[in-house]
A and B are shown apart, each in its own frame.
Chain A
Amino acid sequence: MIEIKIFGFGCSTCKKLKKLVDNIVRQNKLEANVEYITDFAEIAKFNIMSSPAIMIDGEIKAAGRVPTRTEIENWIHRSP
């Protein structure tokens, strides 16, 4: 089970990232738990200041940008 967390503050790019990840999970039939976190206090705990941010299995992979599909797929495949 892959744990994916997406952090967003309500901007349009954050929703775009969420959609992209959902799409990847569905297409690759991955067993993943995708969480979309928008609560400020919750996000602050992860030390994130720029949105959107993506965390895969406890590691922040990107912040402040929407990564490409390939990047995300690579991260997912590399995680055990």
Chain B
Amino acid sequence: MPNRKKCTCQCQNNNNKSPSSSEFNGGACFLPKPVQYVIALVIGLVTWWFVYNNLPRLSHYITYSLLHIKPRTHLGESLEFFFYDTPKVLMLLTLIVFFVGLLRSFITPEKTRRILASKSEFLGNVLAALLGIVTPFCSCSAVPLFIGFVTAGVPLGVTFSFLISSPMVNEIALILLYGLLGWKIAAIYLITGLVIAIIAGFVIGRFHMENYVEDWVRKLDKAISIEGNGHSITWANRFQMARQSVKDIVGRVWMFMIIGIAVGAGIHGYIPQSLMVSIMGRGAWWSVPLAVIIGVPMYSNAAGIIPVVEALLGKGAALGTVLAFMMSVIALSLPEMVILRKVLKMRLIYTFVAVVTLGILVVGYLFNGLILNGYH
């Protein structure tokens, strides 16, 4: 990752230091800014590719040569797994977050809202779920997004499709699933997550619960313009945004991830397979609801939970059970409910949680019933 840091080009540094607002294209810089960004990007990508391809050797070397751990021991296997997975996932994350950050500078919430305000209900749900993948979301932005959507005339159900898909189906979850479990599981997660968001949002829309939105939100001026508010943005800004999102997101999730990978490594090395199969295996019908009950109050992001999920699957836990667990941890969280309470009355929050939970349960049972089971 240090290669990213080098992207800050010389002249920008100089410029940041000087308090005056002088133009920075003269003197020290020979190349126009976009060209500098592209060059830095290419160098970064080549370095990335080289390091990424040498990770297996590196982890082997650290574990057995540097730390002198005996090969074919529990500890050795756990450590090698840890030293391979951590940098691998962090590197994948950095790469994807950067490009999604770039993409996000095009798909702003304001644009999303404009698109959704003019669509019919079911199509709106589908689009909202899809847009939820790429729009930035943290629980602190749930309320402003909600208000912005509802006041612009986006139907309640469509807004919920967005609120469900946005935290659950995101690039962080997908890239971790891809990196640790392969593209099939990532694709299954993407599709089931979207389906849950679309259907749950549509169902909530059918309940016509507009009265359960807090009164002060409904009294807000509906006449506000839904056009963007005119601020312009340059390519330099976009690159800067992408870099900033790498710093923010990777800086926020690395801790979760290392804890997750450590727990996963522990499960890998120490928990016997037979125990896991009896608790989370396909035979135990109660494991799906249990996974959801444990998962809902748990608060972690994708980065923390997916390494654990990998280890669970590797030890013979059923795919449906694991999916249900992962989705309930990521999609439904107590802090988000507390924040949403500012704009929603309790009854609508209960309905939201119930509908999403039901969707997750169906997904869990569905995949436990399929042949995909036992996928390693």
Contact = CB atoms under 8 A, between A and B. Distances in A.
A64 B106 CA distance: 11
Contacts of A62: 231, 233, 237
Nearest to A9: B140
B240 A11 contact: no
Contact of B229 (A13, A41, A44, A47): A47
A79 interface: no
Interface string B55-83: 00000000000000000000000000000
A60 B109 CA distance: 15
Contacts of B47: none
Contacts of A9: 140-141, 143-144
Interface string B97-126: 000000001001110010000000000000
Contact of B231 (A27, A63, A70): A63
Contacts of A60: 229-231
Closest 10 A-B residue pairs measured CB to CB? A49-B148, A73-B21, A49-B109, A60-B229, A44-B147, A9-B140, A65-B241, A47-B224, A50-B109, A11-B140
B136 interface: yes
B339 to A, nearest CB: 9
A15 B55 CA distance: 37
Interface of A: 9-13, 27-28, 40-41, 43-45, 47-51, 59-71, 73-74, 77
Contacts of B230: 59-60
A13 B248 contact: yes
Contacts of B225: 47
Contact of B138 (A11, A44, A69, A70): A11
Given A45-B220, A63-B229, A68-B240, 18 more contacts: A10-B140, A11-B140, A40-B143, A43-B144, A44-B220, A48-B144, A48-B229, A49-B110, A50-B136, A50-B141, A62-B231, A63-B108, A63-B231, A65-B237, A73-B19, A73-B20, A74-B21, A77-B21
B17 to A, nearest CB: 9
B148 A41 contact: no
Contacts of A74: 21
A58 to B, nearest CB: 11
Given A9-B140, A50-B109, A28 B148 contact: no
A11 B244 contact: no
A44 B141 contact: no
